[in-house]
Structure formats: C-alpha cells, structure tokens
C-alpha cells in the first residue's frame, strides 16, 4: 500500500522520522499542528496520520488525547520511535560557542542535563525541524537546534553533539490513524483496543466500571482522564486494553463497563508493537 501520511511538524521532525521508519512507502505530508494533520486525513489529502501521543521521558503529549475522540478517525497501528536528540549548529560552529539551543517544549526537558552541564539556554519553538531550518538560515554560530539526524541532513547542519538525551531509552509513541477502522487480527504481539468513556454520576462509578476488566483478566495498559467542554464535572476517560473486541472476556468487561457509563466510543483496534514489550 502507498499514499500520503500526515504528521505534525516540518520535514526533519521526529514525526517525519516515524513516517520514514514505519511507513517507508508513503509520502510524508508535513502539517503545522496535530489538528491540521488529522484534518488532512479526514478530508482525503492524506491516507494516514502519524500522531505523537506520549514520550517515555516527558509523558503524554498535551491535548492529543482530547483530539482523538472527535477526530472521526480510527487508530489502526502504533509505532515506538527511539528518539535520539542531537545538537545541530551551522557548519564550522563549535559546541563551546553555543549559547542557545532551540527546540519544541516537549524536547527541552528530555536533554535538560546536557544543556545545564554545557551552560546552554533552552529556547522553545513550535517544532524541532523548524528550529533546525531557522538555525541554518540565521547563520549564528552561538545558536543551535535540538533535532534529529534527518533534520541535520535536510538543512545542512553539523552535529555538534550526538545522542544528548538524558535517558538512554528515550522513546516516543505514535498512533497511526485512518478514516476506516481495521478490525482484522494482525501482528505477532497480540491486539490492543482503544476507547473513550464517561461514567454515570453515581458513587464509585469508576471503581465499579473498572471491576469488569479485573474479574475478566484483562490488562488495562492506559487510563487517562481529561475534562470535556471545560466543565470540571464532565470527565472523559481514554483507555487502552490488551485484547480484541471479539474476545469473550473483552465482551464481558465492556458489557459491565456499559452498565456504569453513559457514553462509550471505540477509537481503534490495532496490533501491539513488539517494542511495547521490550
């Protein structure tokens, strides 16, 4: 299968790297925001969307889980990308010259130790690849970008320091989204099911709703909460479980969940990535 795959950021972003590694036959389509990436898939400009959802160092990517339920798209796969952060400067610049390192707010905490040890100030920008492009265009030997080796190649920058992330297993998880669901069983590491729900306004509703997964031996790997419509009293939960909706134990757990909720929406069924278990 070929086509276009949308990602947030400019060419050379880690989303671009994820597209190249996970869907090498697809043409990457850069988008200014996650909203734009989702919309490009929805209107047919792209066939797939590569959406970053969490990082092993930083945590979840802000606002993404609240975008997924209303996206009209379906999760069909997950991708774990090893994030190597590099300090990129203009050709001829040296590490001891660098005063500022520009990068996305998500990436700055991932290499905080390196920046502090080298007396470099972290400066937020909207995208790591954009930072690389602007450093290349600016020609200032005291400014650098925090970005991928792919960005260095694209924008003609030198790698002044390689793999400067604080944790040697620094990884970002992406979800691949499509207009149509894929409920087929695939992959060699089992299936995952993602959904959102809102519990009824009764005492201990969440506790009771979760009981069905425990009694049916289902591992819930993720449970995130966020407000709906700006109201403190309206809380929605995003959940991921191991299993397929056709599995009998999943069916029983979902039936029990339905009793204690007033809204459930399936967001996707996808194969567990092998790196999930590493």
pLDDT single digits (tens) 136-186: 999 999 999 999 999 999 999 999 999 999 988 889 999 999 999 999 999
- Quote the pLDDT of residue 229: 64
Q: Using the predicted structure, report yes or no on whether residue 60 has a pLDDT greater than 80.
A: no
- Quote the pLDDT of residue 276: 81
Active site residue 57: no
Confidence of residue 216 (pLDDT cuts 50, 70, 90): very high
Confidence of residue 120 (pLDDT cuts 50, 70, 90): very high
Average pLDDT of every residue of the chain: 92
Active site residue 2: no
**Burial grade of 128 (CB within 10 A; 0-12, 13-18, 19 or more):** buried
Chain region(s) in the chain for CATH 3.40.190.10: 3-82+170-178, 86-161
Q: Give, in words, the CATH class of 86-161.
A: alpha beta
- Quote the pLDDT of residue 63: 72
pTM: 0.89
- Quote the pLDDT of residue 201: 75
- Exactly one of 174, 213, 260, 270 is catalytic; name it: 174
Q: Which CATH architecture has domain 3-82+170-178?
A: 3-Layer(aba) Sandwich (3.40)
List helix spans (H) across 139-243: 149-155, 205-215
- Exactly one of 57, 172, 193, 261 is catalytic; name it: 172
Q: Using the predicted structure, report yes or no on whether residue 230 has a pLDDT greater than 70.
A: no
Q: What percent of the chain has pLDDT over 90?
A: 73
Residue range 22-46, pLDDT digits in tens:
999 999 999 999 999 999 999 999 9
Chain region(s) in the chain for CATH 3.30.70.260: 191-277
Q: Using the predicted structure, report yes or no on whether residue 87 has a pLDDT greater than 70.
A: yes
Phi, psi of 214 (to 5 degrees): -65, -50
- Quote the pLDDT of residue 8: 92
Distance between CA atoms of 198 and 50, rounded to whole angstroms? 26
191-277 maps to CATH 3.30.70.260: yes
């Amino acid at each position: 299968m070929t086509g276009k795959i949308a990602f947030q950021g400019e060419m050379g972003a880690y989303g671009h790297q994820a597209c190249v590694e996970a869907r090498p036959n697809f043409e990457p389509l850069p988008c200014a925001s996650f909203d734009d990436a989702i919309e490009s898939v929805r209107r047919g400009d792209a066939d797939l969307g590569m959406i970053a959802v969490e990082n092993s160092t930083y945590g979840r990517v802000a606002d993404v889980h609240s975008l997924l339920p209303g996206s009209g798209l379906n999760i069909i796969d997950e991708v774990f990308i090893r994030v190597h952060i590099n300090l990129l400067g203009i050709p001829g610049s040296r590490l001891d010259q660098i005063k500022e390192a520009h990068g996305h707010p998500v990436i700055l905490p991932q290499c905080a130790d390196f920046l502090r040890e080298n007396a470099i100030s972290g400066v937020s920008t909207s995208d790591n690849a954009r930072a690389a492009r602007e450093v290349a265009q600016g020609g200032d030997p005291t400014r650098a970008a925090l970005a991928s080796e792919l960005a260095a190649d694209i924008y003609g920058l030198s790698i002044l320091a390689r793999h400067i992330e604080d944790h040697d297993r620094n990884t970002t998880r992406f979800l691949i989204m499509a207009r149509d669901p894929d409920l087929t069983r695939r992959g060699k590491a089992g299936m995952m099911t993602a959904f959102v729900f809102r519990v009824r306004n009764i005492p201990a509703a969440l506790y009771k709703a979760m009981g069905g997964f425990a009694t049916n031996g289902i591992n819930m790997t993720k449970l995130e909460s966020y407000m709906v419509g700006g109201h403190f009293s309206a809380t929605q939960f995003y959940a991921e479980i191991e299993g397929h909706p056709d599995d009998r134990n999943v069916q029983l757990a979902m039936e029990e969940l339905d009793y204690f909720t007033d809204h459930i929406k399936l967001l996707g069924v996808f194969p567990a990535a092998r790196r999930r278990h590493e």
